[in-house]
Structure 1
Amino acid sequence: MPGAGLWALLVLILAVVQLPTILVLGPIIVYVFFTSSTVSAVVFAIWSILVGISDAFLKPLLMGRGVDVPMLVIFIGAIGGFIASGIIGLFVGAIIFALGYKLFLLWLNQDPR
């Protein structure tokens, strides 16, 4: 696939702004149908549709239980935590950054005395 890095970046951006990834995967599925065997194209199409459906159903279900923090804050915390501490930081960084975000909002909204 030519420009695979660019396609991956587009999917990442769509995921951060919470748009369906099928917007990018649709043209890729068409490309795979024209350039690859039918079996691999069908398998890729089914896989992409399953990923899109699971993203549409699982993301609200899993994120609905947590705090109302924007996805970008969680993403920045996860990337920063991963850079600082590796795999463990991927999870801990997102939690700490989301907690810091909520505390910052509370601090901004408190009454001055």
Structure 2
Amino acid sequence: GDAFRQAGRWFASYIASASRGFLGNAFRLFYQLIVIAVASFFMLRDGHKILGYVREILPLSSDERDEIFGKAKQMLQSVVYGITFTAGIQAFLGGLGWWWVGLPSPALFAGAMFLLAMIPFVGTPMVLLPGAAYLFTIGKTGPAIFLALWALLVVSTIDNFIRPLFISEGSKVHILIVFTGVVGGLAAWGFIGLFTGPLILSMFFFFLDSYRRIWQRMRGDDQDSERR
């Protein structure tokens, strides 16, 4: 009895703290979505001009320019697919936990979790933790603690592993590069970093490889000149 009451008090204080954190993240996310919306407007309107200018100033051959733009497109598509597939898995796991503790309409709330799981720093806890709080208020302390732990230790953390895996498979970029890009991008730039992090890292390694190939060609030319 005492252990359950202490766990319940800890859980209630954690819910209050987490709610304040989610509110702060919501404001930051709203600001970032405004930035994305403005950037998307100008990209749709002037994107062809911007891409044309970038192609002109890149000190690469025509084939290498095509390759880098192809890799960037492939990476961005893989990020979108990775976000979608990961959200689906998180929604399934969240709905499973919701059903297991006996809460109503698990399919409906799993759909809400699918949408929220696409939003970094918000995600499925916005549904699961209020559900756990409801269970706690009606006296079901055990199921409440289980659902909270399920939300925080399983559903909320699994995206850090499976999202980079999906992106890596789709983009054909090593998973360590993608994982570093996703985690570092989210830490540095929030939601926008989910796209820019792996993209910047993959482009960096592409340019590194291009430099290696150019250097090898130059070295080969020098050796040919010396033989003559």
**TM-score by structure 2 length?**
0.26
Higher helix share: 2
Bigger relative CO (Cα 8 Å, ≥ 6 apart): 2
When Rg is computed on C-alpha atoms for both structures, the one with the higher figure is 2
